[in-house]
Structure 1
Amino acid sequence: MSEPAAQSAAAPSPFPAIADYAFLSNCHTGALVAPDGSVDWLCVPRFDSPSVFAALLDRQAGSFRLAPFGAIVPNSRTYEPGTNTLVTTWNTRGGWVVVRDALTMGPRTGEDRVTPYTRPPADDGADHMLVRTVQCIEGQVEIELYCEPVFEYGRTSAAWTLSGDDGRSADAVAGDQKIRLQSSIRLGIEGDSVRGRHTLSTGEEMYCSLSWADGLVSPVTIDDANARMTATTRFWRTWIGRARIPDHRWRSLIMRSALVIKGLTYLPTGATVAALTTSLPETPGGERNWDYRYSWMRDSTFTLQALHWLNLDWEANEFMEFVADLKPNDDGALQIMYGIDGRRDLTESTRDDLSGYAGARPVRIGNGAFDQRQNDVFGAVLGSILLHTRRSQRLPRRLWPIVQSQAECAARVWHEPDQGIWEARGAPQHYVSSKLMSWVALDRAARLAEIRGAPDLTKKWQAIANEIRADILDRGLTEKGVLRQHYDTDALDASTLLAGIVGFLPANDERLRNSVLAIADNLSEQGFVLRYRTEETDDGLSGKEGTFLICSFWLVSALTIIGEVQRARDLMERLLRIASPLGLYAEEFDVDTGRHLGNFPQAFTHLALIEAASRIVYSERLEEFT
């Protein structure tokens, strides 16, 4: 009996394509809005809180739709320029309407009791509400509001009660959680949901809001709702106005990537979540489904590079303060990931009652890799600290103990096998990328010791860095002078592209050139790069995965470094063309179907886009003077 065919990412499904979702954020949590106007993912009050709407993972797990009655395909969707506010235009037989959706932000008026800050609060903060407005710009259009929250990842239905005398407000309660739906139209309770219908004529407006704010504060008029929208626009445009976005043909996508990274930042602590979602599949219908709503140390160097290159030094400083607050393990090492509040225990469980996105199961809450040994973590942290120190022209006193502890940890364990940068769930190996990042750890620590005025430590740590380097060059290269995945295989791994990006090998080194071109030619599908070939790698999982977008952007950077600038440009242009209709990226790309796979939007992908773009922009600027 033959095995069933693998599921296609383009198979007919009641689930919208991953890349068709719009991303909203208030820098405390985020939402995903489907093309039909349905909010299919929202966790409140934080990114890592249990969901209120989770139709993204099970079509019965809660959603919130505001759109013309009987219409499911909008005329257009875009972002208000320079913001994370979604603007959707609908054309029906009766007329035209414009819907605006935002997780609103505005001037702070007091202490945030919903998500308390550990960092100094900024002038603006989250309103802790989702605001949706509709304006009829021509004709007459009947609008339908449908809100059905299901709390705790689809486990607990809401108990609704109408509040107020006019029937325009309703409260949903589940356990100790309570949210308020407010609108300018009358609402009615139907079982576990609330509905409303209203016809708008030319020039008329309506709104609705969902609040989890302190006291369930909500806009009470359309003018109040519009004022919150205006304040949100002002917040995002003021923020992006501080960024250094090059006047370049890729400007709009660089700006969108910056807005995504900011949108995935948890303001109260300065942490950055890897992605908004959990369990969006890397393999259609498969088991490669992970919870990415946490902060990875692996991403830290790339986060700092992107933020500093964009001239967003405040955000970079906030992230470093988050790192400084983290509690290490008993051996002094930082974990590979933490909760956005700094918590260490991210124990993984599954929600077997959920169908999963297009049947991809299990749905995971938590991430079992949190206690894995990954020796690359030390290099990520120390690389970040050196980058930040050079930019700020000072080494903060509270960071020096971290430099010492992480350098000593790296020195102690660099020669041991680990799970690697990709968190393989197979047997530990001597991954070359882990050795590379261990070299980064001791090399950067030596430079920081020099800045600190500790020559003995500089000498000690540099000597260990040299030892690691020699070991990699002795055991980490194939007979053809190509960097291996790990010491016991000749298989390729895209993470070895870091050899050029972190400066392990100089740009003119033949071994770097061999490695980069081998990955470009032999570890790609239709030009897009795989992490590794699953049939050659014991990662403890079944099924094939898509090409990894971060690896493709790394290849752009690496090609630029070795002087293959035109080839880098060509790949960059291809990568930019596959952005979602709203300029967003998931983790992976299925070259056969043209569909995005994995959690969405993915911070690491957008960080790598900025890094790759910066290298090409810099090379083109240099060409102008030669």
Structure 2
Amino acid sequence: MAKRYPDISDHGLIGDLQTAALVSTDGTIDWFCSPRFDAPSVFGSLIDAQKGGFFRIRPVGMEYVTRQLYLPDTAILITRFLTDAGVGEVIDFMPVAEGPATDRHSIVRMVRVVRGEMTFEGEIQPRFDYGRAPHRLVPSGPGAKFVSDDLVLTLHRVGDPILHGDERAGKVEVVDGGVKVTITLRAGELTGVMLESGDVDARQISEDELIGTFLETRRYWRRWNDRSTYTGRWREMVARSAITLKLMTYAPTGALVAAPTTGLPEQIGGERNWDYRYTWIRDASFSVYALLSLGYQDEAEAFVGWLLQRIHEGVGSDTAPLRIMYRVDGSSDLDEETLDHLSGYRKSRPVRVGNGASDQLQLDIFGEAMDSIHLADTHGLELPHAGWMKVRQMLDWLCDHWDTPEEGIWETRGGPQKFTYGRFMSWVALDRGIRIAQSHGRPASMTRWVHERDRIYERIMESFDPTRQAFVQHDGSDVLDASLLLMPLMGFITPRDPLWMSTLEAIDEALVSDSLVYRYDPAAAPDGLRGSEGTFTLCSFWYVDALARSGRLDEARLVFEKMLTYANHLGLYAEEIGLTGEQLGNFPQAFSHLALINAAVNLDYQLDHGSGDVEPVLRRGRRID
């Protein structure tokens, strides 16, 4: 019997590079938005089992256990059902839509029996616009259409399997505006459906066409995976993380969403339920490091181009030159709305769409953006003149505003502060701008940039807390913050500096639970929200790198290996991990996977060459041939 709300970790991700769907281990698609990541959901039973809608295929009339795996080196998901009577599989994928933005997207669901005989039940119950919009079921040729005011889903049927004319052909029922189909298959028989978003005529798809689409999709993903240059110790996990990041990239613009879901809670039953289907400057900028470290230069170049467009649009406005997040097309209309009609995942309310944090000032994004631009520059992706002039204006703005109170990396809603991380990343922004200008002889406010960079450095050093013997979250606080684990990676401080070593020891004691790292202590630093949260997977992988650079290589490797045990059965991570190892928050989380890649690449190098060294390919400040 299916769980009403499966665990967050009980899912795999499929997608076509413009949108994505989650498939649970019982064969249910319980999350899918169309035509792109941030569109309203069509299937949303993950956030309301009664009103959200679903598309389920599973055995009936028998007990079964399930296993899920990806076809190796692809984003094709296989859900296996094991019974006394036989073994069956549901194979889910979305044909890749790499080109311009389109409203036409397809989910292919192949069903086959590999041993014995099994009866499958398929039921499709779409609920448009997060369950708010009514729809009509319209028969269409060999299939059907689900018609709402703003979107049409067309169900195409795959040609009948070889059933020898017997009673196994099953039946079709109309249930609650949806369709339920029952069919019995024997070993070697194959059937399936294709669900297409778009008002087209339903048709009967031949088995040859179905298999051809499958082979084409497999070919795409294996070719993409083969482009990776990573040859280190953790190839399988790194490859899966890379494919997952690719699945969360909107191909028409190169923008990376933080996660393909909304409303999945950081605490079950709590209110920390956010919409992550947007592109954060911070998250996506870190992806440049991960992509280049694996050899995916085209993807890194696409994002940097997207980023420069945002800078070009923002410079000269009445607000900060960059917003902290955007939609995948670069627009910034992210007004937050509460979906009061939805019960939320396991009664975790409210369910939000949009994101009210989009209007916050978070100074760290300028450092992350400039670090990615500088890194791209060292790999031959140099800024054109117009791009550099906009970057120059942005850094001039930062010189005037780096000491402004802000909301910080964690988007707390407890009021602005002068966060150490925001200052530290402002230092990074100016430092990287200075390096680019010096490297290429570009015009710059060099005297001013150097002066302000040095002022920031001195201000941070002056704020070192002598009681905690650590750098702390913000002025007037003694709270530790895991974001500061990036200080040595970004070159702000050497990893063997006594000030850093004592900070790392303080973080060990206050924020680390075995291998798991909390981002900060909400009890010590109220963030304006009720409830608690789990440990942040991102911070745990940052911790790996900080340990390795500080000479604690054995610990770093053990922590990394332990972190791998917290992945789900497919190698996927949500945003957080709870006390008993459960995945929490939106799923899968881009930040978690890009941090895994970066930790693996850096740890590999340091295990091979000694701790504290810097990777030759990604050395900051100059290009290494």
Taking structure 1 as the reference length, the TM-score comes to: 0.92
Assess if the C-alpha contact under 8 Å between 1:114 and 1:213 holds in 2. Answer: no
Distance 1:113 1:264, change over 3 A: closer
Alignment map for 1:166-565 (pairs within 5 Å): 168-184=142-158, 187-213=172-198, 215=200, 220-248=205-233, 250-326=234-310, 327-328=313-314, 329-331=317-319, 333-392=321-380, 394-454=382-442, 457-565=445-553
**Greater mean deviation of Cα atoms: 271-280 or 131-140:** 131-140
The Cα of 1:183 is off from its aligned counterpart by: 1.8
Name the residue aligned to 2:598.
611
* 1:114 pairs with 2:118: no
- Aligned-residue Cα RMSD (Å) equals 2.0
Equivalent pairs counted in the alignment come to 595
Assess if the C-alpha contact under 8 Å between 2:482 and 2:520 holds in 1. Answer: yes
SS in 1 for 2:174: strand
* 1:100 pairs with 2:84: no
Please give the alpha-carbon distance, in whole angstroms, between the structure 1 residues aligned to 2:497 and 2:590. 31
Please give the alpha-carbon distance, in whole angstroms, between the structure 1 residues aligned to 2:258 and 2:565. 23
Assess if the C-alpha contact under 8 Å between 2:258 and 2:279 holds in 1. Answer: yes
* 1:29 pairs with 2:19: yes
* 1:596 pairs with 2:570: no
Please give the alpha-carbon distance, in whole angstroms, between the structure 2 residues aligned to 1:484 and 1:332. 25
The Cα of 1:104 is off from its aligned counterpart by: 1.6
Distance 1:255 1:149, change over 3 A: same
Letter in 2 for 1:212: S
**Greater mean deviation of Cα atoms: 219-228 or 503-512:** 219-228
Letter in 2 for 1:387: L
The Cα of 1:396 is off from its aligned counterpart by: 2.8
Distance 1:275 1:422, change over 3 A: same
Q: Deviations over 1:357-391 (max 9, x none)?
A: 01100000000000101111111111111010111
- Within the candidate set 136, 139, 159, 2:136 is matched to 159
Please give the alpha-carbon distance, in whole angstroms, between the structure 2 residues aligned to 1:216 and 1:551. 49
Assess if the C-alpha contact under 8 Å between 1:144 and 1:197 holds in 2. Answer: yes
SS in 1 for 2:262: coil
Assess if the C-alpha contact under 8 Å between 1:347 and 1:367 holds in 2. Answer: yes
The Cα of 1:283 is off from its aligned counterpart by: 1.1
Assess if the C-alpha contact under 8 Å between 2:65 and 2:83 holds in 1. Answer: no
Please give the alpha-carbon distance, in whole angstroms, between the structure 2 residues aligned to 1:40 and 1:616. 37
Please give the alpha-carbon distance, in whole angstroms, between the structure 2 residues aligned to 1:218 and 1:598. 39
**Greater mean deviation of Cα atoms: 302-311 or 154-163:** 154-163
Name the residue aligned to 2:558.
570
Name the residue aligned to 1:42.
32
SS in 1 for 2:462: helix
Identity, % of aligned positions: 39
The Cα of 1:398 is off from its aligned counterpart by: 4.0
* 1:622 pairs with 2:609: yes
* 1:87 pairs with 2:78: yes
Letter in 2 for 1:64: F
The Cα of 1:243 is off from its aligned counterpart by: 1.0
Letter in 2 for 1:581: H
SS in 1 for 2:445: helix
Q: Deviations over 1:574-595 (max 9, x none)?
A: 100111011000000012x220
Distance 1:514 1:13, change over 3 A: farther
Distance 1:496 1:470, change over 3 A: same
The Cα of 1:418 is off from its aligned counterpart by: 0.5
Please give the alpha-carbon distance, in whole angstroms, between the structure 2 residues aligned to 1:55 and 1:454. 54
SS in 1 for 2:94: strand
Name the residue aligned to 2:166.
none
The Cα of 1:611 is off from its aligned counterpart by: 0.9
Please give the alpha-carbon distance, in whole angstroms, between the structure 2 residues aligned to 1:527 and 1:113. 41
SS in 1 for 2:488: helix
The Cα of 1:331 is off from its aligned counterpart by: 3.5
Please give the alpha-carbon distance, in whole angstroms, between the structure 1 residues aligned to 2:521 and 2:274. 19
Assess if the C-alpha contact under 8 Å between 2:395 and 2:429 holds in 1. Answer: yes
Q: Deviations over 1:467-520 (max 9, x none)?
A: 100001012434453110111111111111121121110122111111122112
Please give the alpha-carbon distance, in whole angstroms, between the structure 2 residues aligned to 1:113 and 1:445. 33
SS in 2 for 1:27: coil
Assess if the C-alpha contact under 8 Å between 1:85 and 1:233 holds in 2. Answer: yes
Assess if the C-alpha contact under 8 Å between 1:420 and 1:434 holds in 2. Answer: yes
Assess if the C-alpha contact under 8 Å between 2:516 and 2:536 holds in 1. Answer: yes
Letter in 1 for 2:88: V
Q: Deviations over 1:8-66 (max 9, x none)?
A: xxxx9731110111111111111001111000000011000000000010002100011
Please give the alpha-carbon distance, in whole angstroms, between the structure 1 residues aligned to 2:41 and 2:402. 40
Letter in 1 for 2:56: R
Please give the alpha-carbon distance, in whole angstroms, between the structure 2 residues aligned to 1:113 and 1:544. 39
Q: Deviations over 1:381-410 (max 9, x none)?
A: 111110101111633334213321221221
Please give the alpha-carbon distance, in whole angstroms, between the structure 1 residues aligned to 2:292 and 2:482. 25
Assess if the C-alpha contact under 8 Å between 1:324 and 1:398 holds in 2. Answer: no
Please give the alpha-carbon distance, in whole angstroms, between the structure 1 residues aligned to 2:386 and 2:227. 27
**Greater mean deviation of Cα atoms: 179-188 or 378-387:** 179-188
Please give the alpha-carbon distance, in whole angstroms, between the structure 2 residues aligned to 1:339 and 1:218. 34
Assess if the C-alpha contact under 8 Å between 1:139 and 1:201 holds in 2. Answer: yes
Distance 1:451 1:175, change over 3 A: same
SS in 1 for 2:37: coil
Please give the alpha-carbon distance, in whole angstroms, between the structure 2 residues aligned to 1:158 and 1:362. 25
Q: Deviations over 1:191-212 (max 9, x none)?
A: 3110111111121110111101
Q: Deviations over 1:524-576 (max 9, x none)?
A: 23331101111011211011110111011110011111111111111101100
